[in-house]
Amino acid sequence: MNTADLGLPVDVPSTALFTDQYELTMLRAALKAGTAERRSVFEVFTRRLPNGRRYGVVAGTGRVLDAVENFRFDPGVLGFLRERQIVDEETLKWLADYRFSGDIWGYPEGEVYFPGSPVMRVEGSFAECVLLETVILSILNHDSAIAAAASRMASAAGDRPLIEMGARRTHELAAVAAARAAYVGGFATTSDLAAGFRYGIPTVGTSAHAFTLLHDRERDAFQAQVETLGRGTTLLVDTYDVAEAVRTAVEVAGPELGAVRIDSGDLLLVAHRVRQQLDELGATDTKIIVTSDLDEYAIASLAAAPVDAYGVGTQLVTGSGHPTSSMVYKLVARADSADPKAPLVPVAKKSSGGKMSIGGRKWAARRLDADGIAEAEVVGTGPVPAELAGRQLLVPLVRGGTVVAREPLDVTRDRHIAARANLPLSATQLSRGEPVIPTEYVHGRSGS
């Protein structure tokens, strides 16, 4: 069953108002000026990675495709625009028939990116492309930030699985998107049932401290949980005294106890003590799960600890200090008339303060060294050099308004693991540094 087809209350009937008002006023003015139908190319990119990050992760592409399909101005939306006098009747009539009919290319979801990488390219008339700016950026900026944090945490965790459990630390709808992005970035499971239902992500969860506190004795709580969920369950052992709780847990569940969870204290010290105690009690196969405000640095600090899995919440869903990817959506080429055959003319913003952009419809490829490891992100206009033809990164996502690149989430997760593995080893370092490979620009004729 494809759960994405079922729909959920977390979906909306239309994404048309996930936009900024100036996009509609630009549309109105362009319709009046006769420039709305000029063929145009917009690109999504970031000028820099968050401070200290070595690479970015493309995430949210699948959600962008859903958003583009649902970008419709239904009677209720049009009524709102009319009541507020945001646009005139001519523009309302145009919006009533809106359907994106252009093409979208992009880095496949799960791929890594660098400053200047054209992670998405949107082509069509100016009118139909400009309206998509905010919804595309809101999705890619959020999801890519979460996926980048998840990727760093997954690198720090190594072979130990990660559990996403940040739903209570962010907006209820953002939590679902965050769980999806975390899965792309390398997390194994989520506690968020809406994410499990909507995207098929494996879900987990047992009990909180409230369940222990509900009962007269900790033993009673453990007994109730084991009788309900079986000996393979995970018992939370830090409500009172950890050593006593571990002893009680093994007495109740036996050496077949699945896992214990530690949610407070000096996790490194406590994990060692709990592992020793479990082994002495004969529960040698019982795993240890740690939670408690973890980030990639805390996870890395526990590499030598006898920990089997990590649960991460707040730091993950807030991008571990970088909640946005700072991506922008810029017009880079447009025709000089509405004639479909009119050639594209490169355009670019000229600005001080680091906000310049590079004109022209771009391609991107990743150059590898003799060992197959990435050594440069090459971005260019015009013909693609023969030696890079087989290394191009952009793939078709939408053709003629029809989505052509939907794929299972597991595919995107596997793609990210492979992409990260093809980066220089320094990409996994948590210390501050520059992007792990440079971005090189090749300028040629932008073409049409």
Q: Are 101 and 390 in contact (CB under 8 A)?
A: no
At 357 the pLDDT is: 79
Question: DSSP 3-state assignment of 8?
Answer: coil
Tokens 């946005």 belong to 324
Specify the DSSP element, H or E, that contains 30.
Answer: helix 21-33
Question: Taking CA 60 as the corner, what is the angle to CA 54 and CA 64, rounded to the nearest 5 degrees?
Answer: 140
Partners of 379 in the β-ladder? 364, 441
At 112 the pLDDT is: 98
What's the distance, CA 362 to chain centroid?
A: 23
Q: Are 349 and 329 in contact (CB under 8 A)?
A: no
How many C-beta atoms lie closer than 10 Å to residue 225's C-beta?
22
Mean pLDDT by 10 residues, the chain (448 residues): 44 80 97 97 96 95 96 95 97 97 98 98 98 98 98 97 97 96 98 96 97 98 98 98 98 98 97 98 98 96 97 97 96 94 91 76 96 97 94 98 96 98 95 93 68
> Which CATH number applies to 3-131+326-442: 3.30.70.1070, 3.90.420.10, 3.20.20.80, 3.20.140.10?
3.20.140.10
At 214 the pLDDT is: 98
Nearest Cα residue to 412 out of 200, 205, 203, 204: 200
At 7 the pLDDT is: 46
At 52 the pLDDT is: 86
Burial of residue 19, with CB atoms counted within 10 A of its CB: 0-12 exposed, 13-18 middle, 19 or more buried: middle
Distance of alpha carbon 432 from alpha carbon 289, whole angstroms = 28
Q: Where are the domains of the chain?
A: 3-131+326-442, 171-320
What φ, ψ does residue 42 adopt, rounded to 5°? -110, 145
Question: DSSP 3-state assignment of 211?
Answer: helix
Q: Does domain 171-320 correspond to CATH entry 3.20.20.70?
A: yes
